[in-house]
A and B are shown apart, each in its own frame.
Chain A
């Protein structure tokens, strides 16, 4: 059927002019929802599931509390140290709980960290002094290239295990990192033969307190405290 002309003859020549109020939802809430939807879409695209990294192996934190009464994931003095299993730079595997009966220093470090590099000779020397008495040192490297780590370990004469924390799972559990973002390194955990964290130290294990480090005597005292 052919259209008929409008009885009032009105032609809307400016449909883009301000329209009449069509209700709170359509006139105000809907536009705000549109803006929110655009923002949410962008947010989702960037943070959609699958974007996060996930572990691909069996390494990482094995048990956090193991009977400790602390529900938190951090290694606290006087509490059982979170257990973990990590690959070494040599391809072996080390599990913390397998070292019960020994005093253990867990040292979190990276080659890009200047104080870590500078304290490493001190750790090497301490290991040399105390290994016969049951000291073990686990140098947990944060996400670095194994070849680079091995090269560094060879040059600096590191004979204790250098562990590769590829996904920061252990570092996150010990609160050394948060989502792989380093809070502070080097940091060392002194764990006794029962697996209890006796002390922690944030900073280089050398240089004395005036330079943010630890005195030789204090280091020896802490090591003696954890030896069997």
Chain B
């Protein structure tokens, strides 16, 4: 014994000089693991509570700088320090990754460190205990021995114990083990934690995400790892209820791999298409697109064919004009194709009136929530109609009554690179009137005020640029100016498709399964080890079980059952 203690002391001395010893002590410390978990929880909370640098500008220092300037309003002089220490990019900070890595290693060290002894208790359990153990074990019980003592063994076996019997000269000894393998539950849980961490690391370093915004009939590339997909949007569908609330968005897409059709599928928000491990999910919908084509009539060649997303809006006033007889001269929603400063307007010829009228709107206040209508008659003399009318009001000028009901909106875009009749390319103001939201399956939506839309009528396209003026072009309708034929191919919808591949998906599922299995083993199937000493007079039980087991109560029940069974066996014999 003295020699063993000396050897241990010698080994302890060796540990103290080992460069790994301090690391090992730290990594095997449960307190350290709990400290790490607590620290990670705290910084994760900071990462959730504090604003974080948006991912799309993370690699752009100038954009990050502007973003930080915005944060100075909240955090004042501390902003720079918080940025330096990574509080605005918690989950991408090197120290966060380092903390997670240390936790992974610590958990792994703990598992490796504790696995062998626990495995030994499963594979080679201690089957005999000294007699003194029956007097001082934490869980123990005793009861009078009935019959030959075989009843206890039978009761234990019926309770799914694995039982071994060791007869001795004055007594018989039993060792019973139940759910021995569930001692591994702790490791299963720890393995789950490691797998979660690895999944996080895998996701952070190998995850792929890309956003596509595609118009119907068009395709966009996805530059995945070492390959390129093309995603073609065949149809984007937005369905709305009568109140304009969205019911469903979906996209019918075709995925091409190396130019060959690989998959044709429908993608929704919750049910994405999958191909080659990539998920293609519906991320956005936009209904106001217009397909415009320009053809050179001298060659017959198409020189421009674009699907324009009309993200902007232009005001469109609803105006009614009556003459003194009450006859309606105009009752329409006007498309304004001219802009002077903050005033939008257009020329209108009224039936039976000599000169043209210029109708325009401008914001009535600082915001564009309310508008006023400008009526300007191109005529000489004081009687010419020139007046300002507030929204919802009417005015009489030059014998005509002008009623300004309100302002709707037209989707619009200042498009670049449009071929102009002069032969150059330039800007053109494109707006779509009477545009309904959605495809043939869709009812009208409420993204814009479209109360003026007549669903029975097709959308109309208006294009105005240098020496270019197209009015009231309906789908498939063309207009030729100079050498160019302009065709409104029709209204098109756009879909935002999120392409994502997260290699950690399966790991997360595996980790979740392991975690639930480990917890289940620990909580619902705790191991019970029971030793019994059976003398002719009394039977002594002692055992070890998990904290959640009321083992002494179970022992008493075993005792009662054993007594009943022994008596029943006795009666049968008699």
List A residues at the B interface (Cβ < 8 Å): 2-6, 9, 11-13, 15-19, 21-22, 24, 26-32, 34-35, 38-39, 42, 46, 52-53, 110-112, 114, 117-118, 121, 124, 142-146, 148, 155-157, 164, 166-168, 179-182, 206-207
Given known A118-B304, A207-B417, contact A3–B128 (CB-CB < 8 A): yes
B230 within 8 A of A: yes
Residue pair A6, B126 in contact (C-beta under 8 Å): yes
Residue pair B300, A35 in contact (C-beta under 8 Å): no
B408 within 8 A of A: no
Q: List 13 A-B contacts (CB under 8 A).
A: A2-B167, A4-B128, A9-B130, A11-B137, A15-B183, A28-B23, A30-B112, A31-B108, A31-B111, A110-B221, A112-B218, A117-B304, A144-B230
> What CA separation (Å) do A152 and B291 show in the bound complex?
15
Residue pair A12, B256 in contact (C-beta under 8 Å): no
**Extra A-B contacts (20), CB below 8 Å, given A6-B130, A114-B417:** A3-B166, A6-B128, A12-B117, A15-B117, A15-B183, A24-B18, A27-B109, A27-B113, A31-B27, A31-B108, A34-B108, A35-B194, A46-B206, A53-B227, A145-B219, A145-B259, A155-B301, A156-B302, A166-B259, A182-B221
Residue pair B126, A42 in contact (C-beta under 8 Å): no
> What CA separation (Å) do A188 and B109 show in the bound complex?
58
List B residues at the A interface (Cβ < 8 Å): 11, 15, 18-21, 23-24, 27-30, 104-105, 108-109, 111-114, 116-118, 120-121, 126-133, 137-138, 166-168, 183, 186, 194-195, 198, 201-202, 206, 218-221, 223, 225-228, 230, 232, 256, 258-261, 296, 299-306, 417, 425, 503, 507, 544
Given known A18-B29, A24-B20, contact A143–B198 (CB-CB < 8 A): no
CB distance from A170 to the nearest CB of B (A): 14
> What CA separation (Å) do A124 and B301 show in the bound complex?
9
Residue pair A206, B425 in contact (C-beta under 8 Å): yes
> Which A residues touch B167, using CB under 8 A?
2
Residue pair B112, A5 in contact (C-beta under 8 Å): no
> Which A residues touch B221, using CB under 8 A?
110, 112, 142-143, 182
> What CA separation (Å) do A168 and B304 show in the bound complex?
27
Given known A21-B11, A31-B111, A157-B300, contact A111–B219 (CB-CB < 8 A): yes
> Which B residues touch A142, using CB under 8 A?
221, 228
Residue pair A145, B260 in contact (C-beta under 8 Å): yes
List of 7 A-B pairs having minimum Cβ-Cβ separation, nearest first: A157-B301, A9-B130, A24-B20, A121-B303, A31-B108, A5-B128, A180-B228
> What CA separation (Å) do A126 and B264 show in the bound complex?
38
CB distance from A89 to the nearest CB of B (A): 10
> Which A residues touch B227, using CB under 8 A?
53, 179-180
Residue pair A38, B29 in contact (C-beta under 8 Å): no
Measured CB to CB, the nearest residue on chain A to B220 is A112
Measured CB to CB, the nearest residue on chain B to A207 is B425
> What CA separation (Å) do A12 and B24 show in the bound complex?
22
Residue pair B15, A42 in contact (C-beta under 8 Å): no
Residue pair B503, A181 in contact (C-beta under 8 Å): no
Residue pair A167, B425 in contact (C-beta under 8 Å): no
> Which B residues touch A179, using CB under 8 A?
225-227
Given known A35-B108, A35-B198, contact A181–B305 (CB-CB < 8 A): no
Residue pair A143, B105 in contact (C-beta under 8 Å): no
> Which A residues touch B15, using CB under 8 A?
21
Given known A5-B130, A118-B417, A146-B259, contact A42–B108 (CB-CB < 8 A): no
Measured CB to CB, the nearest residue on chain A to B118 is A15
> What CA separation (Å) do A110 and B259 show in the bound complex?
11
Residue pair A11, B108 in contact (C-beta under 8 Å): no
> Which B residues touch A146, using CB under 8 A?
259
> Which B residues touch A17, using CB under 8 A?
114
Residue pair B21, A21 in contact (C-beta under 8 Å): yes
Given known A18-B113, A112-B219, contact A143–B228 (CB-CB < 8 A): yes
Residue pair B20, A117 in contact (C-beta under 8 Å): no
Residue pair A53, B226 in contact (C-beta under 8 Å): yes
> Which B residues touch A38, using CB under 8 A?
194-195, 198
- Of the residues A13, A16, A34, A180, contact of B114 by C-beta under 8 Å: A16
Given known A6-B126, A19-B113, contact A35–B305 (CB-CB < 8 A): no
> What CA separation (Å) do A155 and B487 show in the bound complex?
14
